[in-house]
Amino acid sequence: MAIDKSWFDGMEARIPRGEVRTRFAPSPTGYMHVGNLRTALYTYFIARHAGGKFILRIEDTDQGRLVEGAVDVIYATMRRCGLTWDEGPDVGGPVGPYVQTERRGLYGKYAELLIEKGLAYRCFCSEERLEELHKSDLNAKYDRHCLSLTSGEIQARLDAGEPYVIRQRIPEGTTTFRDAVYGDITVDNVELDDQILIKSDGLPTYNFANVIDDHLMGITHVVRGAEYLSSAPKYNLLYEAFGWEIPTYVHCSSVMISDPGTGAVRKMSKRHGDPSYEDLMAQGYLSQAVVNYVSLLGWAPHGDLAEQEFFTMDELIAAFEISGISKSPSAFDMDKLNYFNAAYLRNLPPEEFAREAEPWIRRSVKNEAYDAGAIAALLQARCEKLSDIPEKLDFFDELPQYDVELFTNKKSKTNAEVSLQMLRETAPVLEALPEWSQDAIHGALVGLAERLGVKNATLMWPLRIAVAGKAVTPGGAVELCRILGREETLRRVNLGMEKLS
């Protein structure tokens, strides 16, 4: 019995046309790795650069790999990266639903249409038979055992309730597809397997659902990793089988990394413990810095912008052209990311830096009497990432044990004897201050150094060692005394004098 084509005509009538439409279609199987984030960014830039629509679609047909809460992670990550979508599961749109399992009724109809055209067929082969095929060759293609079944044999098996899959029938000849980055690529169809389109549970495979959904959602540009180049001929054959327009393919080369254990260069992968976007956030990187850096992994702007490194989101959208995407793999470099992140941290407005820094400050400085904003002001020019902060502040809550040798500093012209003298002179001056402010402390100490006929550093070095117990601190003696307060400062100065006596 022929399929009623009116339903398909109705689906075609819903498709938006006449604009650039791109989609990011993650699987909710875990966190957003760097390659996925780059795909999302390029997809977003293409749509926004053309004034088109950016769509979020959740591809959850691989039910065995779903991770609880992963969809919420996808939403949160994209919003944090500044990627806003025009259509999606949470905002709706003209071609929903935007979750693949909620579209499951569509795919079987399109598979049946291919069967009617002779371009797909039912396969009843058991798992055991398929395993036997691969015993001698793990890469062996399906042998088309079920392609020769008669209509009567097929009906009898259906009536008996035998499980089956639907496979794509690959035609003879060659298939040529065009990619915006790699150009024209031709493959011999004999190299292609009769891939499964519909699984035995009725759900589509990733490759089939991808094509159906991209067409029905009017997607004009498909951005994905270069690892999908080998699947592109099968996508093309499906588009041609349905008589549909083929979208512009944009395949992006791999992101490589030097393995921290072996030093070998390999593809970046969460499986190897390489950082995901969430890992980078947990390590104290700013989202804006990560977005900027990842955008430049395998893409470069043209013309006057060719040497520019730092971009706002609006600048990336304006500058982004597909022709700037490289065929060569890109290298993910943590040192380069640190460079970007440090620049972004230093350029934040002080109050925004303080907001970002406070949770990290409070990991070390539990004493609420110490002003997190004042501490943040000392840190902004002194850290590459926010996770650098806690170890710089471990002396605030408790003065660490330290060696008296720290008081000796050649540049400041101090030794134990000089330091003891300086602290003895400093303590009463600090104790007598009428107000405990940075200006008051600074003025009193500079005045004392002048009266004693010593350089400021000769006075300040012993004071900083006494109050921090460290040679390297995120601020000078004046700033540290101001934050610690008069009482704690004098307590630490007295401990320093005892240590030196």
Residues with a known catalytic role: 270
Dist. CA 491–CA 485, nearest whole Å = 10
**Structure tokens that stand for 355 in this block:** 């907001």
Spell out the residues 6+ positions from residue 257 whose beta carbon is closer than 8 angstroms to its own: 265, 266, 267, 268, 274, 331, 332
From the list 133, 139, 142, the residue with the least C-alpha distance to 165 is 142
Count the Cβ atoms, other than its own, within 10 Å of residue 407.
25
Ordered DSSP codes for 276-329: BHHHHHHTT--HHHHHHHHHTSSB---GGGTT-----HHHHHHH--GGGB-SS-
Per-residue three-class SS string for 233-250: HHHHHHHHHHCCCCCEEE
Residue positions counted in the chain:
501
Dist. CA 27–CA 229, nearest whole Å = 19
Q: Are 175 and 233 in contact (CB under 8 A)?
A: yes
Burial code (b: 16+ CB inside 10 Å, e: under 16) for 111-121 equals bebbbeeebbb
Radius of gyration of the chain, Cα coordinates, nearest whole angstrom: 32
**Structure tokens that stand for 274 in this block:** 């390489």
**Structure tokens that stand for 126 in this block:** 């058991």
Spell out the residues 6+ positions from residue 322 whose beta carbon is closer than 8 angstroms to its own: 46, 180, 181, 248, 250
Spell out the residues 6+ positions from residue 297 whose beta carbon is closer than 8 angstroms to its own: 34, 38, 255, 330, 331, 332
Residue 455: DSSP 8-state = -
Residue 159 burial by Cβ neighbours in a 10 Å radius (0-12, 13-18, 19+): exposed
**Structure tokens that stand for 123 in this block:** 């396969």
Count the Cβ atoms, other than its own, within 10 Å of residue 362.
17
